[in-house]
Amino acid sequence: MNKTLLIAAATAMLTTASFAGNVGCGLGNQVIKNQDSVAMQIFAVTTNGTSGNQTFGITSGTSGCAKPAKFVSNDKANEFVAKNMDALALNISNGQGEALTTLASLLHVSNPDTFASVLQTNFDKIYTSSDVTSANVIDNIVALG
């Protein structure tokens, strides 16, 4: 049973690595420079996966990873949106309000009036459903920029 499981896992990794052609960013990609063979790519991918640093590399722009162009790394803004979803929805729908002003400040928006207007016009693209999460709201706001 264990042997079958090991063979299945190895086959899955070999298949994934051979189709991917690239291991992405992370510690494995930084440490293992010669990735000409499937075995070395698997070793690099396994290193990325077991070290758990690929996510950190993506969010911080380190370990050979490129930080996403539209990424809100402002913890205060993320926390504010999570705690003020209803007030923010009301403010965005009205195009003004304390929660909207605070968010613009936390995001270092240079023109808060234009920001408020754009969000108001695109309210349905920000609050896409009644069960939208704060992370989705932030992503949707950033996508408008």
Same domain, 49 and 18: yes
In this prediction, residue 15 has a pLDDT band, given cuts at 50, 70 and 90, of: very low
Of 2-6, 27-31, 52-56, minimum mean pLDDT range: 2-6
Of 61-75, 79-93, 120-134, minimum mean pLDDT range: 61-75
Same domain, 83 and 39: no
Q: Is residue 125 part of a domain?
A: yes
Q: Write the DSSP symbol of residue 110.
A: S
As a whole number, the mean pLDDT across the chain is 76
pLDDT at 4 over 90: no
Residue 75 φ/ψ, nearest 5 degrees: -60, -35
**Burial of 12 from C-beta contacts in 10 A (0-12 / 13-18 / 19+):** exposed
Same domain, 51 and 91: no
Same domain, 47 and 104: no
Same domain, 79 and 140: yes
d(CA 46, CA 55): 14
Same domain, 94 and 44: no
pLDDT at 79 over 80: yes
Share of the chain above pLDDT 90, in %: 37
pLDDT at 87 over 70: yes
Joined together, the tokens standing for residue 75 give 């913890």
Same domain, 80 and 134: yes
pTM of the model: 0.52
d(CA 106, CA 77): 6
pLDDT at 58 over 70: no
> Structurally, how many domains does the chain consist of?
2
For residues 82 and 65, which has the higher predicted lDDT (pLDDT)?
A: 82
pLDDT at 101 over 50: yes
Q: Is residue 67 part of a domain?
A: no
Q: Is residue 96 part of a domain?
A: yes
Q: What percent of the chain is helix, strand and coil (3-state, nearest 5)?
A: 70, 0, 30
Determine the structural domain holding residue 44 and report its residue range. 2-60
pLDDT at 12 over 60: no
Same domain, 56 and 79: no
